[in-house]
Amino acid sequence: MSEQHTSRQCRGYAAKGVDLVTKHNRTIDWVLYNRAEWFISPETRHLFYGTIRHHQALVDLVSPLLDKPLRDKDSVVYSLMLVGAYQLKVADTPAHAAINETVNATRTISRPWSRGLVNAVLRKVTSLDIKPDQSFGHAHWLVHLMTQAWPGECIDILSANSLRAPMALRINSILTTRAQYLERLFEVGIQAGQGLAEQSLILNHPQPSITLPGWVEGEVAVQDMGAQFAAPLMLLPAAESSACRSTGSNPATRILDACAAPGGKLAHLIELSTATAAEADDNSSLPEVVAIDINPDRVAQTETILARLGHACQLAVGDACTLSWWDRKPFDRILLDAPCSGTGTIRRHPDIKLLLKEPAIAEHAVLQLQMLNNLWQTLAPGGTLLYCTCSLLPQENDGVISQFIEQPGNDAKVCSIDLPTGHATQHGWQLLPTDPNTDGFYYARLQKVA
């Protein structure tokens, strides 16, 4: 189905998506993938994300207006009221349009009996103000951990998490240059500027990726600017880092991306390697790139993304906690983008505020350390491993690195990192969502002592 939805359909489908997240614990990614037909119109996605992003404030507004809670089977009606309240109090949609079309959406959610109730609640909402919330909808335990980690920046971080994230692009350096692609954007009326990462561009206004010039041809990808530092750091010789000069470095002849899906960093790595070899007119210098991911569906998704960009590599289903996939040939570089809480990407995944539970932080740290210990066995002496997460919490970042290097007999040396934005930490580098045009992201570089 290619046609756009009507206004009432947009509101109804957004409400159904909100209901799946809040009542059925589905992630936003799951909803967008498994109910893609609901999100044909950008307006639906806007209402869906916006309502989730401001969920707690909207609940505090709407719930007192109900004489009694709705039945569980009618929770989608409550979600529709939240979508209406979002339009009225956050999106500044004219009241008549917000109320009328949201009331009409009761047919889209198959609850026409609720027209009068939805109408009455939203009319009351128009005279109310959203109460200030110093937590910005984050759970109290998460606010506590954020305050411990970033006492001076915590309020700004929580506030930033309620905003819409910038749309960052990565140009495919095999096919074009940043200056050339920026000119192409301007020719079609799309305003953008250069980001701090070398291949990055930041759009002034987000828009569907399929509308970008050269998208089908693979000239550009959508990737957060913070994540675009991974590939350059991977290819950086360890000898260029003062903390690792004493041990020298091996050329990057064999590279592993150990948690590759959905493939943004992997594609960037292939692009930079290919462009470097082309500049040197030496295809023999192209490294062998191996990539694994534990999820077969995400491996298939990664294959599709690589194909659009014109890339290929040794990509397979594999568990970074085991060695059953390894051919016993060591790697000179390893990228471990470890599973984590995602607390640096709440702007893009506001459902994290609703679904993340405190015990998950410690569980992630155990898994992250297990992956580090396992993959370290596959790294050649003198080689480097780049550990990264999209977390803001030291428990998943410096804390994991500390545990790893302090193990008896460990032969890892921490390499320094210096990026054009962000903050140095004890063992690595932290980007925050309050830094220019980036999500929260953590990097640490480790070299195996030769």
* Residues known to be catalytic: 390
Q: Which DSSP symbol is given to 74?
A: G
Alpha carbon distance, N-terminus to C-terminus of the chain: 58
Report how far residue 19's alpha carbon sits from residue 5's, in angstroms, rounded to the nearest whole number.
Answer: 19
Residues 6+ apart with CB under 8 A from 101: 7, 8, 11
- The packing angle between helices 42-53 and 7-24, to 10°, is 40
Residues 6+ apart with CB under 8 A from 443: 229, 230, 233, 386, 387, 388, 417, 419, 428, 429
- 292 forms bridges with which residues in the sheet? 316
Tokens at 163, concatenated: 């905003």
Tokens at 274, concatenated: 């290919």
Name which of 340, 342, 356 is nearest 137 in CA terms: 356
Q: Are strands 314-317 and 288-293 parallel, antiparallel or unpaired?
A: parallel
Rounded to 10 degrees, the C-alpha dihedral 306/310/314/318 comes to 0
Residues 6+ apart with CB under 8 A from 102: 8, 11, 80, 81, 83, 84, 87, 118, 122
- Rounded to the nearest 5 degrees, what angle is found at the Cα of 138, between the Cα atoms of 129 and 155? 80
